[in-house]
């Protein structure tokens, strides 16, 4: 059964499993670029970075966390993977990496003092001038370094040719960057006649890892706060999903070998987080009278969700259905519509009337079943109250949901509820493989934004055959964190078309046992 957790909570579960008691990491936030900002001591960060370079050691550590055994990483980690391009860039100090991009002689020509290593993969230059004019000249020189670092293609070219920039003439063909360079990569500050410039080598390398998808994630210091570090959430998820295990389980009973297990993450078959195939996204919004007090914030949050989805997806069809006593649907296509069209439509929504929840759900599920030309499908229902119109039964809506999940590949369904009127019904849908999110208030609707980037991901259905012979389903986007129904050792599961039985591993084994194929579930 899919149980909603916030993105921050899911990421903390992952970080806890990775570190597994060799040190504490506390997630402060996840920024809009999907970087985890976490607080930790330097010695913990250094050990964590070494562990990420050693997938076999990393797996053992995570497996111990799964079995609720404390890890012992006091000894040096020796099985580091060799020839990882990202780590080759960080083999030397930050000052050395910068000199491989811009020569030390050119930095001196720019009137900046030498960059000295001062922190975790950070080098700093402090230049004190004897006049404001010279201080501004130094600041301008630092700005030229910033200009170079704002052009990733230029940096890659420099690395490939192994020829750092040695003069200002080489910068003549560099245009102003489309995006402002993140200050966590290169920071310039002038106070009176003193110019301070800081170069964060790890933060720069983080931006280059898209070319090294097989490599381990990089940790960088967040220069604006003490003891705060950053790591890419998406890169970390993909790395764990592709390198570690078909399934990772969290023990719910300490060291008891027969304790119930809870699936935490699904194996990532391929490293692409999304495909180019088109996505059909259907949204059903309750606009009955009881939603009137929530409507303003609801529209704001929906516009943010749609903006994020459109920015992440190049080929889409979005169906927006407003429902009260009746329902009205309008469809938008990426070839004809813009985010402005979607936002204008959402902004015109108003509330009145009663709630035809079940009838609308059945209607929309049947429409989705007919959309056979799409590669990915998603259905989101937002409501604050029980069905008042009785035009359909809960059993019928559940049956339609089952049919849709079975008939379509890569279908995800989300129920978002204000209040508890539909709690039992939506929890029953969750057992079929949907994700249910209970909203404490309408502002929490923004929690759905953690799912928008996975709507065009490939998904797999994990089926759990319980002792009662009842099948529980979990729809999991490939490589993403997903907390599911607790299961027992010996439980039979099916991931896609593969069938397994969960067994407790031997103490020395490096992973969960998935043994044998069981008979088809009818």
Six-digit token string for 382: 């937002």
Six-digit token string for 198: 């800081």
CA angle 155, 156, 159 (to 5 degrees): 90
3-state DSSP call for residue 247? strand
Of 116, 70, 79, which is closest to residue 94 (Cα–Cα)?
116
Residue with tokens 């969700």: 305
Contact status, residue 478 vs residue 457, Cβ threshold 8 Å: yes
Q: What phi and psi values does residue 519 have, to the nearest 5 degrees?
A: -60, 155
Please tell me the predicted confidence (pLDDT) of residue 274. Answer: 42
Please tell me the predicted confidence (pLDDT) of residue 479. Answer: 59
Q: What is the tens place of the pLDDT at every residue in 306-319?
A: 999 999 898 999 99
pTM above 0.95, yes or no: no
Which residues, in sequence order, are bridge partners of residue 347? none
Which residues, in sequence order, are bridge partners of residue 280? 317, 377
Please tell me the predicted confidence (pLDDT) of residue 241. Answer: 66
Six-digit token string for 149: 């670092």
From CA 290, how far away is CA 284, in angstroms rounded? 16
Please tell me the predicted confidence (pLDDT) of residue 511. Answer: 44
Contact status, residue 202 vs residue 97, Cβ threshold 8 Å: no
Residue with tokens 């099948």: 471
Q: What phi and psi values does residue 380 have, to the nearest 5 degrees?
A: -120, 130
Please tell me the predicted confidence (pLDDT) of residue 296. Answer: 95
Domains parsed from the chain with CATH numbers:
88-211 (no CATH), 251-271+462-515 (no CATH), 279-456 (3.40.50.410)
Q: What is the tens place of the pLDDT at every residue in 2-28?
A: 567 788 887 888 888 888 768 889 999
Q: What phi and psi values does residue 237 have, to the nearest 5 degrees?
A: -60, -45
DSSP letter string, 97-163: HHHHHB-HHHHHHTTPPPPEEEETTEEEEEEE-SSHHHHHHHHHHHHHHHHHHT-HHHHHHHHHHT-
From CA 505, how far away is CA 512, in angstroms rounded? 6
From CA 134, how far away is CA 126, in angstroms rounded? 14
The Cα-based distances of 505 to 112, 246, 265, 489, 515 in angstroms read 59, 14, 18, 10, 11
Residues of the chain with confidence (pLDDT) below 50: 1, 79-80, 82-83, 270-276, 506-513, 517-522
Contact status, residue 114 vs residue 94, Cβ threshold 8 Å: no
From CA 296, how far away is CA 316, in angstroms rounded? 26
From CA 301, how far away is CA 279, in angstroms rounded? 21
Six-digit token string for 84: 């990882």
DSSP letter string, 456-502: TS-EEEEEEE-TTS-EEEEEEETT-B-----B-TT-EEEETTEEEEE
From CA 354, how far away is CA 295, in angstroms rounded? 15
From CA 312, how far away is CA 335, in angstroms rounded? 15
Contact status, residue 501 vs residue 514, Cβ threshold 8 Å: yes
From CA 256, how far away is CA 252, in angstroms rounded? 9
Of 485, 494, 502, which is closest to residue 521 (Cα–Cα)?
494
Contact status, residue 328 vs residue 322, Cβ threshold 8 Å: yes
From CA 46, how far away is CA 206, in angstroms rounded? 16
Residue with tokens 């890169």: 235
DSSP letter string, 305-333: HHHHHHHH-SSEEEEEEEESSSEEEEEEE
> How big is the chain by its Cα radius of gyration, in Å?
26
Six-digit token string for 282: 């259907």
3-state DSSP call for residue 464? strand
Please tell me the predicted confidence (pLDDT) of residue 440. Answer: 87
Contact status, residue 199 vs residue 98, Cβ threshold 8 Å: yes
From CA 507, how far away is CA 275, in angstroms rounded? 39
Please tell me the predicted confidence (pLDDT) of residue 481. Answer: 56
Please tell me the predicted confidence (pLDDT) of residue 153. Answer: 86
Contact status, residue 155 vs residue 89, Cβ threshold 8 Å: no
From CA 415, how far away is CA 24, in angstroms rounded? 34
């Amino acid at each position: 059964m899919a149980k909603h957790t916030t993105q921050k909570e899911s990421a903390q579960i992952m970080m806890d499993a990775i570190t597994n008691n060799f040190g504490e990491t506390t997630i402060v936030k996840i920024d809009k670029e999907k970087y985890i900002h976490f607080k930790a001591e330097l010695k913990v960060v250094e050990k964590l970075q070494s562990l990420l370079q050693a997938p076999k050691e990393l797996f053992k550590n995570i497996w111990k966390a799964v079995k609720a055994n404390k890890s012992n990483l006091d000894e040096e980690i020796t099985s580091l993977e060799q020839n990882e391009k990202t780590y080759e860039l960080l083999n030397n100090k930050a000052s050395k990496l910068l000199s491989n991009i811009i020569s030390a002689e050119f930095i001196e020509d720019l009137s900046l003092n030498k960059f000295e290593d001062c922190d975790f993969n950070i080098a700093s230059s402090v230049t004190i001038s004897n006049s404001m004019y010279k201080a501004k000249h130094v600041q301008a020189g630092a700005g030229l370094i910033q200009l170079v670092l704002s052009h990733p293609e230029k940096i890659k070219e420099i690395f490939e040719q192994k020829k750092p920039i040695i003069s200002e003439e080489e910068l003549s063909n560099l245009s102003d960057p489309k995006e402002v360079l993140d200050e966590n990569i290169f920071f310039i500050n002038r106070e009176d006649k003193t110019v301070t410039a800081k170069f964060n080598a790890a933060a720069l390398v983080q931006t280059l890892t898209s070319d090294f998808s097989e490599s381990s994630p990089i940790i960088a210091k967040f220069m604006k706060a003490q003891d705060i570090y950053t790591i890419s959430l998406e890169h970390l998820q993909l790395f764990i999903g592709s390198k570690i295990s078909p399934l990772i389980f969290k023990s719910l009973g300490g060291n008891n070998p027969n304790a119930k297990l809870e699936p935490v993450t699904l194996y990532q078959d391929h490293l692409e987080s999304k495909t180019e195939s088109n996505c059909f996204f259907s949204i059903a919004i309750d606009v009955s009278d009881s939603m009137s007090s929530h409507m303003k914030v609801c529209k704001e949050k929906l516009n943010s969700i749609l903006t994020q989805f459109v920015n992440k997806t190049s080929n889409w069809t979005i169906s927006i259905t407003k429902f009260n006593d009746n329902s009205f649907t309008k469809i938008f296509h990426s070839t004809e519509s813009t985010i402005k069209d979607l936002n204008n439509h959402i902004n015109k929504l108003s509330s009145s009337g009663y709630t035809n929840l079940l009838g609308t759900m059945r209607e929309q599920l049947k429409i989705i079943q007919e959309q056979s030309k799409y590669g990915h499908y998603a259905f989101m229902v937002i409501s604050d109250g029980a069905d008042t119109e009785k035009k359909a039964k809960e059993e019928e809506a559940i049956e339609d949901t089952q049919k849709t999940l079975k008939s379509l590949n890569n279908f995800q369904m989300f129920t978002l509820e204000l209040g508890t009127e539909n709690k039992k019904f939506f929890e029953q849908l969750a057992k079929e493989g949907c994700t249910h999110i209970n909203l404490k208030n309408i502002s929490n609707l923004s929690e759905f934004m953690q799912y928008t980037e996975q709507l065009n991901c490939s998904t797999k259905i994990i089926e759990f055959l319980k002792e009662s012979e009842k099948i529980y389903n979990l729809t999991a986007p490939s490589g993403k964190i997903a907390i599911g129904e607790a299961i027992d050792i010996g439980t039979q599961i099916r991931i896609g078309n593969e069938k397994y039985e969960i067994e407790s591993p031997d103490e020395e084994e490096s992973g969960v046992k998935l043994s044998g194929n069981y008979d088809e579930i009818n």
